[in-house]
Amino acid sequence: MPRIEIDLPLSLKTALEQEAARSGKDLGAHIRAILADHLKAEVHTVFQISTSGALVAGVYDREVSVGALLEHGDFGLGTFAGLDGEMVVLDGKAFQARAGGEVHEAPAEAGSPFAVVTRFSADQVGETEGVTSFDGLGAACDCFRSSNNIFHAVRLDGRFKRVKARAVCPPKPGTLLADAAKTQSEFTFEDVDGTLVGIWSPAYSAEFSVEGYHFHFLSDDRSQGGHVLEVEAGPLRIAVENLTDFHLILPETEHFLKANLDQDVAATLSSVERSHS
C-alpha cells in the first residue's frame, strides 16, 4: 500500500485517536475508513451477485446488467444470462468469452446471473516463480495472501506458455450446472501475453462462493479468454487485494426464490470448476 505523510493540528490528531479507540480500530484503519466513506470509495469491498449454489441449481436468469455491475467494480469474474459464456471484468470493462471461442466486450445491457467484482486496489505486489499447473499457480499465489479467512482479489500479468480454459455453452433452461458443464468448450492458448483475473474465497464460503482460487483469463489483445482449468507460465507479476467487506446481492426472481438450494454445492462445484483430464 502506498504511504502518505501529512501535518495535522494536535487537536485533530487527538480527536482521531479518541474516535479510533472508541471504534476499536487502529488509527490507520480508522483514517482509511473515514476517507473511503467521505470519498464514497469502496475499499477492500467485494460485491457478489447471487450464489454458487443457485448456479449449481440451474438459476441462470439475468439478475443484473453489465452496466450496473461495473458501477460496483472494475475487476472480477462471472457468467452471462443463460450461461452464455464466461465473464472477465478487467480495467473497468467486461468481456464475454463464448463457447465458440470468440471474445468481445460485453454491452452494458447484457445480463448476468452470477458475478463477483471489486474496485481493484493492490495490498501486496510482487513476482511469482514460474508455474506448471493450476495447483502450482495456487501455491505461488498463496505466498502473497495475508490470511485464509478473508477473500482476496488476485491479478497476474505476463506471458503464458499454455492456458487451458473453458467456456460454458447455453444449456436448455432448467439444466443443472453439472449437466451444463458436460457440453462446455475447452481451448488451449499457447505463448500468449495476458492477465489472470482471480478471486480467492475461504473454505467457509463454499456454500455460496467458489472455494479457493477461481481464475478467468484474458489475452492482452482481448481475443482469447475463458475460465481457467490449467496453466503454465514463467514468472508473473502479481497483485493481491485483501477483501474484507463482502456484499452479497441475492436475486428476487421467482426462479431463485423457489429453487431448492439445500444441496451439496461444494462437491458439485469442485467437479465442474476444475479440469477433467
Residues near Zn ion (CB under 5 A) are 227
Our CB check for Zn ion shows the closer of 43 and 69 to be 69
User: What is the smallest separation between the CB atom of 263 and Zn ion, expressed in angstroms?
Assistant: 19
Shortest distance in whole angstroms from residue 145 CB to Zn ion: 19
* C-alpha to C-alpha distance for 66 and 106, rounded to whole angstroms: 7
Query: By the 8 A CB rule, do 115 and 89 touch?
Result: yes
Alpha-carbon torsion angle 80, 83, 84, 85, nearest 10: 80
What distances in angstroms separate CA 153 from CA 52, 191, 201, 269, one per listed residue? 17, 25, 9, 20
Q: Which is closer to Zn ion, CB of 43 or CB of 94? A: 94
Nearer to Zn ion, 164 or 227 (CB): 227
C-beta closer to Zn ion: residue 34 or 81: 81
Beta strands in the chain (DSSP E): 45-49, 64-65, 75-79, 86-90, 93-97, 103-105, 111-112, 114-118, 124-127, 151-167, 185-201, 212-219, 225-233, 237-243, 245-249
In whole angstroms, the minimum distance from the beta carbon of 258 to Zn ion comes to 25
Question: Which of residues 83 and 239 has its CB atom nearest to Zn ion in the complex?
Answer: 83
Q: Are strands 111-112 and 64-65 parallel, antiparallel or unpaired?
A: antiparallel
Q: How far is the CB of 11 from Zn ion (least distance, A)?
A: 51
Among residues 43 and 79, whose Cβ is nearest to Zn ion?
A: 79
**Cβ pair 16, 138 in contact under 8 A:** no
- Compute the least distance from the CB of residue 215 to Zn ion, in Å: 8
Smallest distance from Zn ion to CB 273, Å: 6
